[in-house]
Structure 1
Amino acid sequence: MSRPDDEPEQGSRLSETTRVEAFSDGVFAIVITLLVLDLQNPAHTPGGLLSALAAQWPSYLAFFMSFVYVGVIWLNHHALFQRIGHVDRGLHWVNLGILLGAVVMPFPTAILAEALAQDATGRDAQVAVALYAIAAALMSATWWAAFRYLRSRPHLWEPDVEPSYMQAQRFRPLTGMALYTISGLAGWLVSPWAGMTCIMIMIVYHAVTSEGLPARGVKRRPRRSRPA
């Protein structure tokens, strides 16, 4: 006899989310810290500090964009785990996938900063923007996997989470995968600035919807508060 979707697998061990959230918060904190390492004290002649600092604008731009992006990922992660009551082995792996997407971000950030510094409209900048967009699209893919996994496992949810909420959330990462891909194509085929503009728009979208898309037609019960 097959197992109902709302029951845990026989022999599976469920755990509270506290350790997962603490570990994930630590990873996000390290990733954001690593981003700042690309900001360096520039070499300059006496009296030339201001111009040397100004010449590093690509590093400032790439740092700011990635800082906001990783911060938005953390906000989304926090909002998701506010709705999860228990974690099983599969969800541990899904969460590691999300963290993998986050820890990769300093690499395309550094590539983007260097390419923009060399030639903000050149071929290398186009490649760098496309690489950044690919990394962001892969991040969205990990979130799609998370919502797909959770949608069929309501025994992991908090009691007050409606099924329609998890059903609605799968559209957010699908939108991200599609539009980050378009952003990469825009950066590659049109201009680096067109691609970066699209990426920034998507970051804002995920920030605005960090609490999730509303589940239409169903009135959600208020979420149970958790101790700090």
Structure 2
Amino acid sequence: MPESGTTSGAPRVSEIGRMTGFSDGVFAIVITLLVIELQVPDHAPGELLHALFEQAAAYLAFLLSFGYVGVLWLNHHTLLRLICGTTLGLNWINLWLLLGVVIIPFPTSVLAEAFAHAGTDRDRRVAVLLYALVAAAMSAPWLAFFAYLRRHPMLLREGIDRAFVSRQRIRPVVGMALYLIGGALGWFVSPVIGLVGIGVMIFFHAVTSEGVRRGRSRRRTTT
């Protein structure tokens, strides 16, 4: 869609190519940065296998966050398939969304460190709570994105039902609530249980990456 002028106070609409390219670049960099935390451990001669096993927490944290970033990318891809253009306001919301994505390596590193051999139970509770709070906060821009599309339906591709877009707001709301519950479980009950709760939410967002549907309310779109 070529850039168009405003009419009756409507925001200026431009094509989404730059938004898509920039966003994909950010996701690619973040998912690559996660592996930096995986380093060859210090070890005495003949103790490499034992040292590698001691880093099991780092491997699990990497897999959790790799899956999380991958699921976020799938959801973001689906999100951009709904629109035929973007505006300054939508670009700002997208930057807000990407801010959450680039933060992920930090709680991942904290989580790996806390669950390492020398970590204490309190450290693990703090790490799980931090990860859950970051994940919950990341739900807010997704909610804003759907609300913005609801107010500016001219950005939707032809055939996209506004009711379908409205229904998608339930996903970030559920995510925000359940990530917080996962964090509370990690803090008050058990860090492992909290991590399981976070993993369940990531799985939920994975299986609903194409959106919450009701009947045939939205025509299939193509990439």
TM-score of the two chains, using structure 2 as the length reference: 0.93
Rounded to whole Å, the distance in 1 between the matches of 2:79 and 2:202 is: 17
Match of 1:198 in 2: 197
Q: Distance in 2 between matches of 1:116 and 1:43?
A: 18
**Cα offsets for 1:166-188 (capped at 9, x unmatched):** 11000000000000000000000
Unaligned stretches of 5+ residues in structure 2: 1-5
Give, as a single letter, the amino acid of the residue that structure 1 aligns with 2:166.
Q
Asked if the contact 1:42–1:53 (Cα under 8 Å) also holds between the matched residues in 2, the reply is yes
Matched, 1:48 2:13: no
The match for 2:80 is 81
1:94 Cα deviation from its structure 2 partner: 0.5
- Please name the residue that 2:96 is paired with: 97
- Relative to structure 1, the CA distance from residue 160 to residue 133 in structure 2 (aligned partners, 3 Å threshold; closer, same or farther) is same
Q: Is the 8 A contact 2:149 2:155 kept in 1?
A: yes
**Shift in Å, 1:119:** 5.3
Partner of 2:157: 158
Mapped partners of 2:117, 2:103: distance in 1: 23
Provide the C-alpha distance between the structure 2 equivalents of 1:12 and 1:205, rounded to a whole number of angstroms: 34
CA distance in 1, matches of 2:217, 2:209: 19
Q: 1:85 to 1:8 in 2, by over 3 A?
A: farther
Distance 1:56 1:49, change over 3 A: same
- Displaced runs of 4 or more, over 4 A: 118-121
Structure 1 portions without partners, runs of 5+: 1-6
Report the number of matched residues: 218
Deviation of 1:102 after TM superposition, in Å, equals 0.3
Which residue of 2 is the match for residue 14 of structure 1?
A: 13
How far did residue 148 of structure 1 move? 1.2
Shift of 1:155: 0.5
1:182 aligns with 2:220: no
Asked if 1:170 is matched to 2:145, the reply is: no
**SS of equivalent to 2:85:** coil
Aligned residue for 2:115, secondary structure, equals helix
Aligned to 1:3: none
Equivalent position SS for 2:138 = helix
Q: Percent identity?
A: 54
Give the partner amino acid of 2:219.
R
Query: Residues 9, 213 of structure 1: CA spacing in aligned structure 2 closer, same or farther, 3 A cutoff?
Result: farther
Change (3 A) 1:198 1:9: farther
Structure 1 residue 8 displacement after superposition: 6.5
Q: After superposition, what is the alpha-carbon deviation per residue over 1:114-154, rounded to whole angstroms, capped at 9, x for unaligned?
A: 00004566000000000000000011111111111111110
1:67 aligned residue: 66
Q: Is the 8 A contact 2:114 2:123 kept in 1?
A: yes
The answer for the alignment partner of 2:134 in structure 1 is: 135
8 Å Cα contact 1:164/1:218 also seen in 2: no
Q: Which has the higher contact order (CA 8 A, sep 6+)?
A: 1
Per-residue CA deviations over 1:76-131 (Å, capped at 9, x if unaligned) read 00001011100000000000011001000000000000000045660000000000
Distance 1:117 1:8, change over 3 A: farther
**Match for 1:146: what amino acid?**
F
Aligned residue identity for 1:136: A
In 1, the alpha carbon distance for the partners of 2:58 and 2:108 equals 8
